[in-house]
Structure 1
Amino acid sequence: MQLAMLCTVCLLPSSLALPLPREAGGMSELQWKQAQDYLKRFYPSSSKIRDPNSLEAKLKEMQKFFRLPVNGILNSYIIEIMQKPRCGVPDVAEYSLFPDSPKWTSNVVTYRVVSHPRELSLVIVNQLVAKALKMWSEEIPLHFKRVSLGTADIMIGFARGAHGDPYPFDGPGNTLAHAFSPGPGLGGDAHFDEDERWTDGSSIGINFLFAATHEFGHSLGLGHSSDPSAVMYPTYRDGDPKNFKLSRDDIKGIQKLYGERSDSRMN
């Protein structure tokens, strides 16, 4: 069971007035400091690169992940990506999320919704959770069973700030949610930031169905995808709920872990 570490940001004291490095690319000191925070959170040290602690190396990793020109220099478009609401699970870590390809070994996985946000009733949240899980179960030989009491394989809840795991939420915007890969304890659990404005698609806000489907991909063992059309793409994208579905990339990834359903439709 893993959720990659969200590293502590290390900022240069503003009083040192040192010239910004080449990789800052002409951005302001504030923008460069925000970029450092983002890179250290979502691109933690990797043994795959020669200098894993180099911010230039981390920036190149991000550029590679988002399919951008890889030059190790910050620019306004990268800043724009960094400012988008997103999942709290890192994009690139020492492993390709997650180590040893963890997955559920039983073909019946239980889940329980333990709390809901003020904007959505428990009934609505349960309906959207069931819909999100159904998208995954239509492609793999897993069955999801909702329970009302006790500990389930996937515990689902909303919280703000520090909430009992090592990864506190950060208020409105930025990190929306995070989930843990299959395993005991926190394994499989999905947590959503209660400070966001959550919606079922009928009002302005973060569409819970979109976010939940993404997080449940992590709960099943998938990491982030660099395919912009994939549900497992790390940044949040709004859209028409009627057209929301898994991409071929998502399906390929989840079937690599669990295989295809014997009655799976052709894609």
Structure 2
Amino acid sequence: MFFCFNIILVCVFCLSLLIISLIIPWGFLSYKASQLTEKMKEMQKFFGFKVTGKLDKETMEMMKKPRCGVPDVAAYSTFEGKPKWQTNKLTYRIVNYTPDMSVAEVDESMEKALQVWAKVTPLKFTCINRGTADIMISFGTRYHGDAYPFDGPQGTLAHAFAPSPAIGGDAHFDDDEFFTFRSSKGFVLFLVAAHEFGHSLGLSHSNVRGALMFPTYSFTDPDRFSLPSDDIRGIQSLYGKRMILKSTKVSAAVHVRSSGKTLLFIDKVYYRCVKCCIINKSP
């Protein structure tokens, strides 16, 4: 009887540890016991589950999946107050590197991840090698210098901070994870980084399955990746659309030497170009 009682205690203790290990990455430990049921309901509603307020099988399976460490909200969504950068020209710096990949692979992954957002907005990103950038990128484990420690392999893959002074915009990656260039035998750094940079630019999580800003990781061939429409609508709600001058006949063009700018006249509209316009000569 004593032996069975001990087994029951051990099982209850192990179950408690499992539950705690699941709820820590989702930020539930910061709530009082009386609030947990409501927060559980919010999460279930976010993912489109049956709303019970209980840690049922479906909810537990979702909580086990590798994910971003930023708390969930709703769909496409921005952070409270809609924080955004006040300039379209942003800098980034890779402070250190993961041993899982070559330096060149990390550099390419980060640049490609930022271009995901640049292709659909007026944003431009420049890499710097020293000093403080708008987006500081680093790899770390467990307690790594902010108030949001990582949890070891599998759980939280990374987190990033919304635009603001100091740590705002920075992206941190859990070096206890195994990151890859394009292999599914690990976590593709480009995919994780593209998601985190969405946070760096002001987007929160989306509850649209298939969206880049959905909170859990899902493998996609990085060479075939295309930014989903939900994410495009979200980022353009903050920064607007990227202006693309379609190939057309130019009525007239004037280059102003003093400013280095070129004015293009197309019908009754004129465009101002700065170091970006090449006009092919007609035969």
1:175 aligned partner, one-letter code: T
Say whether residues 1:246 and 2:207 are aligned partners.
Answer: no
Map 1:80-95 to 2 at 5 A. Answer: 80-92=61-73
1:63 aligned partner, one-letter code: Q
The residue that corresponds to 1:3 in the other structure is: none
Alpha-carbon separation, structure 2, partners of 1:117 and 1:73: 38
Map 1:32-51 to 2 at 5 A. Answer: 34-35=18-19, 38-39=22-23, 41-42=25-26
| Cα shift at 1:33 | 5.6
Say whether residues 1:149 and 2:133 are aligned partners.
Answer: no
Q: TM-score, normalised by structure 1?
A: 0.80
Greater alpha carbon shift after TM alignment, 32-41 vs 243-252:
32-41
Structure 2 unaligned spans of 5+: 1-5, 247-283
Larger radius of gyration between Structure 1 and Structure 2? 2
Q: Relative to structure 1, is the Cα distance of residues 66 and 122 closer, same or farther in structure 2, using a 3 angstrom cutoff?
A: same
The residue that corresponds to 1:191 in the other structure is: 172
Q: Relative to structure 1, is the Cα distance of residues 123 and 181 closer, same or farther in structure 2, using a 3 angstrom cutoff?
A: same
The residue that corresponds to 2:42 in the other structure is: 61
| Cα shift at 1:99 | 2.3
Q: Relative to structure 1, is the Cα distance of residues 247 and 235 closer, same or farther in structure 2, using a 3 angstrom cutoff?
A: same
Alpha-carbon separation, structure 1, partners of 2:54 and 2:176: 33
Say whether residues 1:78 and 2:62 are aligned partners.
Answer: no
| Cα shift at 1:44 | 5.4
Say whether residues 1:223 and 2:207 are aligned partners.
Answer: no
Map 1:205-224 to 2 at 5 A. Answer: 205-224=186-205
Q: Say whether the 8 Å CA contact 1:86–1:236 is kept in structure 2.
A: yes
Say whether residues 1:259 and 2:243 are aligned partners.
Answer: no
Q: Relative to structure 1, is the Cα distance of residues 245 and 144 closer, same or farther in structure 2, using a 3 angstrom cutoff?
A: same
Structure 1 unaligned spans of 5+: 1-14, 19-27
| Cα shift at 1:245 | 2.2
Alpha-carbon separation, structure 1, partners of 2:187 and 2:233: 26
| Cα shift at 1:242 | 2.3
SS at match of 1:176: strand
SS at match of 2:137: strand
Identity of aligned residues (%): 49
Q: Say whether the 8 Å CA contact 1:177–1:215 is kept in structure 2.
A: yes
CA deviation vs aligned residue, 1:89-137 (integer Å, no higher than 9, x gap)? 11149xx752211111111000011111111122211111110111101
Aligned residues: 237
Give me the CA root mean square deviation.
2.8
Alpha-carbon separation, structure 2, partners of 1:197 and 1:39: 22
Say whether residues 1:234 and 2:215 are aligned partners.
Answer: yes
Q: Say whether the 8 Å CA contact 1:43–1:91 is kept in structure 2.
A: no
Alpha-carbon separation, structure 1, partners of 2:245 and 2:15: 47
CA deviation vs aligned residue, 1:215-262 (integer Å, no higher than 9, x gap)? 000000000000111000001111222222211110010000111111
